[in-house]
Chains A and B, each alone.
Chain A
Amino acid sequence: MSSNPALERDPRRADAVAGTVSRILRLVKSGPELRAVESGEIDAVMDPETGSAVLLPEAQTALREDKARARSLLALCADWFWEQDEFYRFVSHTGAASGGSGIYDESIIGKTHRDPPFDAMSEADWETHRRLLEWRANFRDLELRCTDRAGQARWVSISGEPIFDEQDQFKGYRGTARDITLRKQSEALGQKPTRLARDTLDALGVEVCVLDSAGTVVMANRPSLAFAAGARGIGAKVPEGDNYLEACDKARGNERADGAAIAAGIRQVIARESPLFHHEYVCNSPSGRCWINLTVTPFPGDGASRVVVSRENITERKRMEISGSGAGRKDEEPPPGSGSKVAKGAPIANKLLAALPRKEYQKLVGGFEEVTLTYGEILYEPGDPIRHVYFPNDALVSLLTTVEGHQALEVGLAGREGMVGISAALGVEVASVRALVQATGTALKMNAVRFRKEFRKSLPLQSELHRFINAKLAQARQTAACNRFHVVEARLARWLLMTRDRLRSDQFLLTQDFLADMLGVRRVGVSLAAGALQKRKLIGYSRGKIRILDRKGLEAASCSCYKFVKALL
Chain B
Amino acid sequence: MNAKNEKGKDPGATVETVVVMRLYIADNAPNSARAVANLEVICKEYLGSKFRLEVIDVLEYPQRALADGIVVTPSLTKVSPSPVARIVGNLSDKSSVLHALGIKESLQ
Contact = CB atoms under 8 A, between A and B. Distances in A.
A39 B66 CA distance: 23
A58 to B, nearest CB: 7
Contact of B26 (A27, A28, A39, A53): A53
A180 interface: no
B75 to A, nearest CB: 8
A51 B89 contact: no
Interface in A1-59: 27-28, 30, 32-33, 36-37, 39-46, 48, 51-53, 55, 58-59
A66 interface: yes
B58 to A, nearest CB: 4
B58 A42 contact: no
A52 to B, nearest CB: 5
B70 interface: yes
A520 to B, nearest CB: 102
Interface stretch (B4-12, B14-22, B29-37): B29-37
Interface size class of A (residues with CB under 8 A): 20 to 34
A62 B31 CA distance: 10
B105 interface: no
A480 interface: no
A46 B74 contact: no
Given A41-B89, A42-B88, A44-B29, A51 B63 contact: yes
A51 B59 CA distance: 10
A46 B58 contact: yes
Contacts of B26: 43-44, 53, 55, 59, 63
Interface in B28-50: 28-32
A53 B62 CA distance: 6
A119 to B, nearest CB: 38
Contacts of B87: 32
Contact of B90 (A27, A41, A44, A53): A41
A33 B65 contact: no
B70 to A, nearest CB: 6
Contact of A42 (B28, B59, B73, B92): B73
B89 A42 contact: yes
A42 B31 contact: yes
B71 to A, nearest CB: 5
Contacts of A66: 27-28
Contacts of B30: 43, 58-59, 62
Interface of A: 27-28, 30, 32-33, 36-37, 39-46, 48, 51-53, 55, 58-59, 62-63, 66, 166
